[in-house]
């Protein structure tokens, strides 16, 4: 018998979604700080430090720093941002390695502000990059945009996940399947899990309805080659198994009575006037 996990999902009120937008704007600002700093010769440690200072000025708590690792005697995540360069898919640790022309940097960060969370990721080009790598970035951004668009047209997440995976496949790339998006609210990781691909499990008991009050972090990770990844010795960084580039884009998105609203996108004119710099 088909089961439904929707009963375990905590739907948010309009007021709560408004509070999450504040956190989303703080995360958007963090990504603008990073965008200005990404260039050949910069380091991911410098960018991470600037984002940490930004969250501190706002009184926001970084979500990633000291996040526990699974297993015994493994260190928690040591930074405010995941900084994944080139073949690194996710959970890269900031370092003093100089970024070079032609690199790509996937930056993922989030914060809790006034009790509510925001989470987003962007893959940046470092200077001029190979056109094929730029295409990878474009497709990954486009599949995130596609998912958000479909949230106003479909009734269940499985319908969107299937189209996301097909879009990536049609462009000759592969969708990472061992990492997925997630519900988000007072905690960074809440129900439901939000995969970017279809599976028998998702079409059955792990599927969920798209309804007002749902807030999820959608984060496709797309590889130029194989979908397989491997863990580095630092016990955090996940890289592509074949060493080819990977891209990662993410937004926190709420469904309202008027349709999907991206909580980590750029501010409106009215919001911009109220932003704390």
Domains defined for the chain, CATH in brackets:
6-274 (3.90.230.10)
pLDDT at 4: 44
pLDDT at 1: 27
pLDDT at 171: 98
Question: 113-127 burial, b if ≥16 CB within 10 A, otherwise e?
Answer: beebbbbbbbbbbbe
pLDDT at 3: 37
Which residues does the chain have with pLDDT short of 50?
1-5
Residues 156, 20, 248, 68, Cα dihedral to 10°? -100
């Amino acid at each position: 018998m088909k089961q439904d996990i929707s009963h375990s999902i905590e739907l948010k009120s309009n007021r709560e979604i408004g509070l999450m937008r504040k956190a989303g704007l703080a995360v958007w600002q963090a990504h603008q700080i990073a965008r200005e700093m990404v260039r050949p010769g910069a380091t991911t440690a410098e960018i991470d430090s600037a984002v940490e200072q930004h969250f501190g000025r706002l009184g926001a708590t970084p979500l990633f720093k000291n996040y526990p690792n699974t297993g015994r005697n493994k260190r928690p995540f040591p930074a405010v941002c995941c900084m994944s360069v080139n073949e690194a898919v996710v959970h890269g640790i900031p370092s003093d390695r100089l970024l070079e022309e032609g690199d790509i940097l996937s930056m993922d960060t989030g914060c809790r502000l006034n009790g509510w969370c925001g989470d987003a990721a962007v893959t940046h080009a470092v200077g001029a990059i190979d056109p094929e790598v730029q295409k990878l970035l474009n497709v990954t951004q486009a599949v995130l945009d596609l998912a958000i668009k479909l949230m106003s047209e479909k009734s269940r997440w499985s319908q969107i996940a299937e189209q996301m995976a097909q879009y990536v496949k049609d462009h000759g790339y592969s969708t990472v399947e061992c990492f997925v998006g997630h519900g988000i609210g007072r905690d960074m990781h809440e129900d439901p899990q939000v995969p970017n691909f279809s599976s028998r499990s998702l079409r059955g008991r792990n599927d969920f309805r798209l309804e007002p009050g749902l807030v999820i972090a959608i984060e496709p990770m797309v590889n130029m080659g194989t979908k397989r990844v491997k863990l580095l010795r630092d016990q955090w960084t996940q890289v592509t198994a074949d060493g080819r580039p990977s891209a990662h884009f993410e937004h926190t998105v709420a469904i309202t009575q008027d349709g999907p609203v991206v909580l980590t996108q750029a501010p409106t004119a009215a919001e911009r006037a109220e932003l704390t710099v």
